[in-house]
A and B are shown apart, each in its own frame.
Chain A
Amino acid sequence: MLRRMFRRNREMMTGYMFVLPWILGFLLFMAYPIYFSLNMSFNKVIISSNGIKKDFIRWNNFKYAFLSDPKYVEELLMFIKSVVFMIPIVIVFSLLVALLINQPIRFKGFFRAIFFLPVVITSGQVVKELFAQGAASVPIVERYGIIDYLQNNLDPSWSEPIISIIQQLIVILWYSGVQILIFLAGLQKVNSQIYEAASIDGASPWEIFWKITLPSIKPFILVNIIYTVVDLFTNSLNNVIDLIKVNMFQIDTGFGYATALAWIYFMVIFTILLVVVLVFGRNDDYNPRKAGR
Chain B
Amino acid sequence: MSSFQGSKINPATFNRSQIKFYLFLIALAVFMIMPIVFMFSQSLKPINELFLYPPRFFVDNPSLKNFYDLINVTSVTVIPMTRFLFNSIVVTGAVVFLSIVISAMAGFALSKLKFKSKGVIFEANIIALMFVPASVAIPRYLIVDGLGLTDNMLGHIIPLLAMPVGLFLIKQFVDQIPNDLIEAAAMDGAGNFTVFRKVIIPVIMPALATVAILAFQTAWNNTETSEIYMNTETLRTFAFYMTTLTGNLENKVAGQGIAAAAALIMFVPNLIIFVIMQSRVLDTMAHSGLK
When the two chains form their complex, are residues A117 and B286 in contact, meaning their CB atoms are under 8 A apart? Answer: no
For B22, give the chain A residue with the smallest CB separation: A105
Within 8 A of A (CB), among B114-141: 114-116, 118-119, 121-122, 124-140
Query: Which segment of A119-127, A151-159, A198-206 sits at the interface?
Result: A119-127
What does the 1/0 interface line of B30-48 toward A look like (CB < 8 Å)?
0111111011001000000
Within 8 A of A (CB), among B146-201: 147, 158-159, 161-162, 164-165, 167-169, 171-176, 192-193, 196
- Asked if A173 contacts B132 (CB within 8 A), the reply is no
CB–CB B279/A109 < 8 A: yes
- A103: B residues at CB distance < 8 A: 18, 21
The answer to whether B206 and A185 have CB atoms under 8 Å apart is: yes
Q: Judging by beta carbons under 8 Å apart, are B270 and A19 in contact? A: no
Decide yes or no whether A181 CB sits under 8 A from chain B: yes
State whether A117 and B114 are in contact (beta carbons under 8 Å apart), knowing that A104-B9, A193-B3, A291-B175 are contacts in the complex. no
Inter-chain contact total with CB atoms closer than 8 Å = 292
The residue on B at minimum CB distance from A9 is: B115
Question: How many whole Å from B64's CB to the nearest CB in chain A?
Answer: 19
Minimal beta-carbon separation of A148 from chain B (angstroms)? 16
In the complex, whether A191 has a CB less than 8 A from a CB of chain B is yes
With the chains together, A181 CA to B259 CA distance in Å? 32
Question: Is B57 in the interface zone, CB < 8 Å from A?
Answer: yes
State A266–B133 Cα separation when bound (angstroms).
Answer: 11
Q: Does chain B have a CB within 8 A of A145?
A: no
Q: Enumerate chain A interface residues (CB-CB to B < 8 A).
A: 8, 11-12, 14-16, 18-19, 21-23, 25-26, 28-34, 36-37, 40, 47, 97, 100-109, 111-121, 123-126, 129-130, 133-136, 138-139, 169-170, 173-174, 178, 181-182, 184-185, 188-193, 196, 223, 226-227, 230, 233-234, 241, 244-245, 248, 255, 258-259, 261-263, 265-266, 269-270, 273, 288-289, 291-293
Interface on B for A, CB 8 Å cutoff?
Answer: 3-6, 8-11, 14, 18, 21-22, 24-25, 28-29, 31-36, 38-39, 42, 55, 57, 102-103, 105-106, 108-116, 118-119, 121-122, 124-140, 142-143, 147, 158-159, 161-162, 164-165, 167-169, 171-176, 192-193, 196, 206, 210, 213-214, 217-218, 220-223, 239, 242-243, 259-260, 263, 266-267, 270-271, 273-274, 278-279, 281-282, 284-286, 290-291
The 7 closest A-B pairs by CB, nearest first: A124-B221, A25-B162, A262-B135, A15-B115, A18-B109, A33-B136, A36-B139
